[in-house]
Amino acid sequence: MKSPRSYSRIFIALVILLVAVFLVNVSLGSVSIPFSEVFKGLTGGEVSKSSWHYIIVDYRLPKAITAILVGSGLAISGLLMQTLFRNPLAGPFVLGLSSGASLGVAILILGAGIFGGMLGGWLTSSWSLVIASALGSFLVLLAVLAVTLRVKDTMAILIIGLMFGSVTAAVVAVLSYFSNAEKLQQYVFWSFGSLGNQSWSGIGILSICTLLGLFIAVISSKSLNALLLGENYARSLGVRLKRTTLLIIISTSILAGAITAFAGPIAFIGLAVPHITRQWITSSDHRVLIPSVLLFGSIIMLICDTVAQLPSSEYTLPINAITSLIGAPVVIWLLVRKRKLIF
């Protein structure tokens, strides 16, 4: 019988890999800084140039931490949704959370152009985007929760989530139609996603949200395992379905909502990482899957970010494009190699 403990070697290997990828991520960038100096900067030692110190501690380090939080959070919420809905296509955003966030941001950016002055001045604050995005997600969350309490069928929640997504996308389309090029560009840039330029206080809030979402996922892992048998079996094992469904939805919403608020609608990670993980970790046990998915999510996000910042060039590619450019071939390669989807 394989207990979570028999996977400890894999966990240790993944943690070592995570540390390595983290160090590589912090060492590379548009300005080349020797590794010894990077190490000094990270451990609080004296760095020979003050500009290097600034780049390492106030730019690269927060970006790497954000990448870990974003990668692990999105991957976990993807896993939760795939188990809850028993659907390999489910991801963190099936409930329409990112559409809600997009709507919030679209109203802020595009609406400011249309409705004029009142919102315009407020726009300059970096927190305004975060707040608009969080509000949008939160409204969709409330709607989804209201639906969850009413409908009996879990699949209905999935469809209703998709409907919320379509409605908000439509509103965004209407707003875009009436907007000028400059505002549109600003909105499009937000939708590319970004890990950089996070303040430490922002990272603090993001960490708290990620930990809270993770905590709920961990305490739900026993019920998640029962759900692998199907809802009726789960109920016969003493699982309180409604409460479990609510907890899983709340956990996903906190994770995906907070991450979208700070880093934009980052696609693909949430859908793909659970599948990539299942190809290596054959267990269906969530006590094994949750830590594995968390580690894989962080590692893959760090790699994507390393590639996105195009080492030793001054350009940074949109992170949203990189996650798909790197991730999609990996998933295709894994599926073709193993010839079947493990789900």
The Cα–Cα gap between 81 and 114 comes to 37
- Region binding another protein by CB under 8 A among candidate stretches 131-139, 245-253, 276-284, 331-339: 276-284
Q: Among residues 212, 222, 307, 325, which is the contact residue for another protein, using CB under 8 A?
A: 222
Q: Among residues 109, 239, 269, 293, which is the contact residue for another protein, using CB under 8 A?
A: 239
Tokens 């859908």 sit at which residue?
Answer: 271
Q: Among residues 238, 314, 315, 339, which is the contact residue for another protein, using CB under 8 A?
A: 238
Closer to another protein at the Cβ: 6 or 312?
A: 6
Closer to another protein at the Cβ: 33 or 217?
A: 217
Size of the residue set binding another protein (CB under 8 A): 28
- Region binding another protein by CB under 8 A among candidate stretches 18-26, 68-76, 163-171, 226-234: 226-234
Q: SS3 breakdown of the chain: % helix, strand, coil, rounded to 5?
A: 80, 0, 20
Is 251 a binder of another protein (CB under 8 A)?
A: no
Is 196 a binder of another protein (CB under 8 A)?
A: no
| Dihedral sign from CA coordinates of 91, 94, 99, 101 | negative
Is 335 a binder of another protein (CB under 8 A)?
A: no
What tokens were used for 144?
Answer: 């989804």
What CA–CA distances, in Å, run from 248 to 15, 79, 202?
A: 26, 10, 24
The least CB distance from residue 236 to another protein, in Å, is 5
- Region binding another protein by CB under 8 A among candidate stretches 116-124, 136-144, 180-188, 280-288: 280-288
Closer to another protein at the Cβ: 326 or 331?
A: 331
- Region binding another protein by CB under 8 A among candidate stretches 55-63, 186-194, 235-243, 299-307: 235-243
The Cα–Cα gap between 333 and 170 comes to 35
Is 279 a binder of another protein (CB under 8 A)?
A: no
The burial of 200, by beta-carbon neighbours within 10 Å (0-12 exposed, 13-18 middle, 19 or more buried), is given as exposed
The burial of 214, by beta-carbon neighbours within 10 Å (0-12 exposed, 13-18 middle, 19 or more buried), is given as buried
User: Shortest CA distance to 184 belongs to which of 114, 135, 265, 267?
Assistant: 114
Q: Among residues 86, 184, 196, 307, which is the contact residue for another protein, using CB under 8 A?
A: 86
User: Shortest CA distance to 294 belongs to which of 10, 69, 5?
Assistant: 69
